[in-house]
Structure formats: structure tokens, C-alpha cells
Structure 1
Amino acid sequence: MLTELTLRNNPSLIEAFTGIPADVFWAKVAEMAAKLPEYEDARHSREGRQRAIGAGRKFAHPLAQRVVAISSYLRLHVPQAVIGLMFEISQYDISRDLRRLLPLIQDVLPCPDLWEIEKEEPGSLMPLTFEQLTDAHALVDATEQRVSRPGKDNETRKQFFSGKKKAFTIKTQLVTDGEHHIVAITTAVPGAVHDKKLSDKACTLERLPDGCEVEADKGYQGMAEQVSLVTVVNPETGKVQEVPRITVRIPFKKPKGKDLTKEERAFNHQVGAFRVRVEHCIGWAKNWAILANRFRCDHSIYTSVMRTICGLVNAQTQRWQAARASANCA
């Protein structure tokens, strides 16, 4: 069995099991331990809870051991029973902690904003700020993951069948800046939802700050036409004119029976060379095997899992960017 003492005495095990350097991991566990009493009070007093505060079976393992077990499950995605054997925790406790500890883990990570789908009024949307978009660029893309065949009727299955992947999937949209920081994700939707439709449902354009530049792939055709106009005064001529609130750059699609012009190919290359950074972020998130293989857990926790891993990716990005900046200053 891997106890907390064993893990503290073998730092390499922490990084091997969780993908997080040992010193960073233990620092985050200390932050979680400080937040745990307040977090548990809020969880026990939440609206709709039926059990009395303090009721229910107690966890028999220390917080650190529970966190490393959940982190290992996210990273390795082996059966929960195997993780339980490694840390002498029951499979039931692993399953319970996936719901109970992920919000606490998110509290100590630089997690992206969560955009609810069709649950927020347009006037209540919290837009991103230029402070969140380091270079005033917003890169938009969606990623989908295979899931087991859902439901028992064809209507339910059609909702999850992705024509692109030819499989049952679940989909999430990510928004990053040009510096590889994941700044927002949407709640997960069935895989049959088109990327552009998901963007519209999430009110992506409405959530972006004035003056930013948006890059997306060819699946987002028509996004530029949806941008609202703002009235500005030309400082040189004094003329009042209407201009798009934000700039949207989408690659040109090849017309049927025709070729793209040289200028259009050059534009596509320019957009693709910059937009690939959101693909990098998606690829890094899939270093956590739970997002790379078939998702075996309940769909209701998918968004929480995705947000947690995006927070881990952001923390990883911040570490290597800080190391690079430090090396450049040396």
C-alpha cells in the first residue's frame, strides 16, 4: 500500500502517478487542507441536502492520500479498483471522492472560467477581460471524447453520435489566449452538437472583450458576420463610423470545383500557425488519460473533470513559462 509517508519519501512516485512535481503537489495539498473545513461546511449546508450535518460514513484516510488517489486516477485512468488497491482505499470511496474532492482541487488551481450552456441570461454574462487574454487574442476550438453507448432508445443515441468521429462522444469548447493559457471552457454537451452551434449556445462572442482578436477553424464559418458593431470616431478625420466590436479570423474554405487564391492560402497559413496554440492546450489536457481514452465515468462529472485538468494544464504552463523567463534573464 502507498501511504502518505511512502509518497513523501519517494517524490518520483508523485510525478509518475499524477503528472505533478512533488513539491508543487504537496504545496497544493497544504492549501487544500487549509480550505477543507470551510469547504466541508459549505457542502454540508448546501441547498437541497437531506442528511443532517455530520451524518454519513466518514473517510478513513488522510486528505493527502485521497487527493493523490484521485489525481492518479485522472492521470492513469486505470480501473478505480486498481487505484483502490494501490492506496488501500475502497472503489466506492474513489467514486465518491471524484465528486467530493474535484471542486476543492479546482479551488487551488488556476482553472478556467466555466461557461454554462443556456442557463445564463444575456445580461448576466460575465465577459472575459484583457487581463485574462494576455495578448488580446482568443483562440476558440472544441474537443470531443468517446463515451459508451448511451441510453436505450435511438433518439438519445442520436444526440451523442458524432458524424465527424463516427462514434458516441461528448463535447466541450475551450477558449485560450495566444500564450497557451486556457481561459474558459463550456459545460459538456452531446457530441452531435456542431462546434459552431456550441459556440452560439455558449454566447462566445458576447463574452469576449471589445477590441480582441478571435481565431477559430473552418468549422466556425459565419462567426464574423455575427459580431455586433460599435460606433467610433476616427481620431484623424473626426468622422463617425461603425466598426466590428471584435475581429474574427476564420480560414477560407476551398470553393467547390475551384482552388484558393495565393492570398487566401497565405491567410489560412497565418491563421493556422497562430491557432495551433489552442490545439497544443487540448493535446496537453489529453496527457491525462481520463480525457484521452473512452470516458467511463458518469457524464454528470465530465465538466468537473475537464475543468480540473485544464487547471492542471494551466499550472504546468505557468511553471514552464516562468522557468523560460528565468533562463532568459540569466
Structure 2
Amino acid sequence: MRLTWARAACSHPALSDISRAHCGELLEELAPRWQAARESALHERRGGDRRRAAGAGPRQRLVFVDRLLVTLVHLRLGIAHAAPAELCGVDRSTVSGAIREVRPLPAPRGLAVPDRPGVRLQTMENLLAYADAEGVDLRIDGAEVQVRRPRAHRPGRKAFVSGKKKQNTIKTSAFSDPQGRALFSGVVRPGRMHDQSAVRTEGIAEQFHQHPEVKAEADEGYRGLADEFPGQVSAPAKKPKDDGPPGERHARREQRRRQSSARG
């Protein structure tokens, strides 16, 4: 039956990693936001109020519950949009549109804090205040996801070309605790933006000034941040020159390996 697979995701941890009860809570909270955003977009497209009664017009191929579940499965497994589209019996563009609409909705909820029921971190200020109050050392890293190449002649098209991945990507700044458990995910930025620039645009430098006891570990992409806050941020040493001593290059490789292992 069409959409049986998507609805089964609600109770199958391997697919969505979410319980039925949690799924119900998300539906109750996010459905009004989605409906409001959709009505606003339709109002702008029409240039005014609706001309027909509610419910008129073509039926949606995916109702909101199915849009939510498809999005959760995509985020959980990182699979291509064509896979859930085939299983749901709809076109790939329908799934892509659903994910594009639903994905931003949970962002204001923030991330749940491990072992702290009811506590959520929604901003960089929340994150640093929590780390300061609880004595949690942070781990900082950047995550990149490949995206479709923007259409030609569009402004900012080159902004998505990642120098590291050599692909069109979007990136987020991820923060975790020493056990590797996610605490906060930053705003999505175009792939061309440097990892360090991404966290600076969210005000991390100001937060380190306000919370001088907070410590963080990062990779070499945050070397400038470590130079500015040497007592708070640790990052691998600068890359030695090609003609530098072999021992110095080996020590740097070992430092990067140990730090990468510690960041999980």
C-alpha cells in the first residue's frame, strides 16, 4: 500500500529513530507552523486572499504527516530523495519539495541536552551558557552535505562550491560534548564559507569572551580561533614547512590523529 513504508518509519528506530509518542508531539507542534507557512506562500503567490473554498484544487500527493516522516527518514539515513519517492509512489520532486518545506520547521526547537530532560539549546548563547554552568568541554566541527548545483546566472552560485570537497555543498557547525553527543547545530551556510567564518558569524568569539572558563577542541580549520583564545580553544599546530624536520611533521600528524579521535 502506498505510504505504508513512510508511516512505518514512526515506529521503526532503524528508519527514523523516533517513537510514536515523539512523532505525535512533533505533528502537534509542527503542523500549524507548516500550514501557516504554506498559506503565507500561497497568499503571496496569488497576490491576495483565496478565491475558492478551502479544500478546492488539486489534492496533495503527500499530507503533512507523510511529509514529516519522509523528512525524518532522509535526515536519519541521508538517502537520496528518489528512494522514498519510489517507495511512496510519488515523483522525486514531490519528496524534494516536502523535505525543503519541513526541514526548517524543527530548528526553533533546538537540540535536547543529554541527561537533562526538558532542556534544549536553541542558540549559541544557550550553548556556551550551558557549557559554562555544567563544566562541559565542547567539540567543534564542520559538516558538509552535497547539494544540487544552483542554476546558471543566479547570484551567489559560486558561494556553494566547497574548496575542501570540490563540490556544491552546504555546511553547518556542529557542537558536541566529550562523549560525542550532539548539543547544537549552527545555521546552514554555503559551502564556500570557511568553517571558522561560519561560527564567527554566529557570535562565538563574543560568547568565549563572556564565558572565559569554557574550553573547546577543534580541527585545524579553527586555527585562528585557537590563536585568539589560546586558553580556551585547542587546535592542531600550524602545518610545518615542507623542508621542516621530519619529527615536527610526525608530531603534528599524531596530534591531529589524537584530537580527531577525541572529537569522535
Aligned to 1:33: 27
Equivalent residue letter for 2:225: M
In the superposition, the TM-score normalised over structure 2's length comes to 0.67
User: Which of 245, 250, 260 is the matching residue for 1:259?
Assistant: 245
Question: Per-residue deviation at 1:154?
Answer: 11
**1:274 shift after superposition:** 4.5
C-alpha contact (below 8 Å) 2:176/2:184 kept by paired residues: yes
- Aligned to 1:253, what secondary structure does the other structure show? coil
Q: Distance in 2 between matches of 1:37 and 1:164?
A: 38
Aligned position for 2:176:
176
Change over 3 Å in CA distance of 1:128–1:48 after alignment to 2: farther
Corresponding residue number in structure 2 for 1:250: 235
Deviation (angstroms), 1:141: 1.8
Deviations 1:229-251 (A, max 9, x none): xxxxxxxxxxxxxxx7x512121
Structure 1 partner of 2:116: none
How many residues are paired up? 244
Structure 2 residue 202 is the aligned partner of structure 1 residue 202: yes
Please show how residues 47-62 of structure 1 align to structure 2 within 5 Å.
49-50=43-44, 52=49, 54=54, 59=60
Q: SS at 1:223's partner residue? A: helix
In 2 relative to 1, CA 88–205 (structure 1 residues): closer, same or farther, beyond 3 Å?
A: same
Match of 1:212 among 189, 194, 214: 214
Deviation at 1:144, TM superposition (A): 2.5
1:102 aligns with 2:87: no
Task: Name the CA distance, whole Å, in 2 between partners of 1:136 and 1:52.
Answer: 51
Conserved 8 A contact 2:30-2:105: yes
Shift of 1:252: 1.4
What value does the CA root-mean-square deviation take over the aligned residues? 4.3
How high is the sequence identity, in percent, across the aligned residues?
Answer: 21
SS in 2 for 1:78: coil
* Matches for 1:281-300 after TM superposition, within 5 Å: none
Once residues 156 and 27 of structure 1 are traced to their aligned partners in structure 2, the CA distance between those partners, rounded to angstroms, is 42
Residues 108 and 86 of structure 1, relative CA distance in 2, 3 Å threshold: farther
Structure 2 unmatched ranges of 5 or more: 113-119
The amino acid that maps onto 1:214 is A
Tell whether the 8 Å contact from 1:132 to 1:183 is kept in structure 2 after alignment: no
Question: Which structure's relative contact order is higher, taking Cα pairs within 8 Å and 6+ residues apart?
Answer: 1
CA distance in 1, matches of 2:73, 2:181: 23
- In structure 1, what is the Cα distance between the partners aligned to 2:40 and 2:149? 33
Q: Could you tell me which residue of structure 2 aligns to residue 159 of structure 1?
A: 159
SS of residue paired to 1:192: coil
Distance 1:259 1:143, change over 3 A: farther
Paired residue secondary structure (1:258): coil
Shift of 1:9: 11
Q: Is the alpha carbon distance of 1:8 and 1:132 closer, same or farther for their aligned partners in structure 2, counting shifts above 3 Å?
A: same
**Cα 1:201–1:108, aligned 2, differ >3 Å: closer, same or farther?**
closer
For the residue of structure 2 that corresponds to 1:150, the secondary structure is: coil
Shift of 1:158: 4.3
- Alignment gaps of 5+ in structure 1: 116-124, 228-243, 281-330
Q: Secondary structure at the match of 1:162?
A: coil
Q: 1:217 to 1:92 in 2, by over 3 A?
A: closer
How far does the alpha carbon of each residue in 1:2-36 deviate from its partner, in whole angstroms, 9 at most, with x for none?
4559955996xx345x242xxx4312221123325
- Give yes or no for contact 1:114–1:186 (8 Å, CA) kept in 2: no
In the other structure, the counterpart of 2:80 is 78
Q: Given that residues 135 and 179 in structure 1 are in contact (C-alpha distance below 8 angstroms), is that contact kept between their aligned partners in structure 2?
A: no
Q: Secondary structure at the match of 1:128?
A: helix
Q: Which moved more, 1:214-223 or 1:48-57?
A: 48-57
Match of 2:130 in 1: 131
Q: Is the 8 A contact 2:34 2:105 kept in 1?
A: no
Distance change in 2, residues 1:180/1:161 (3 Å): same
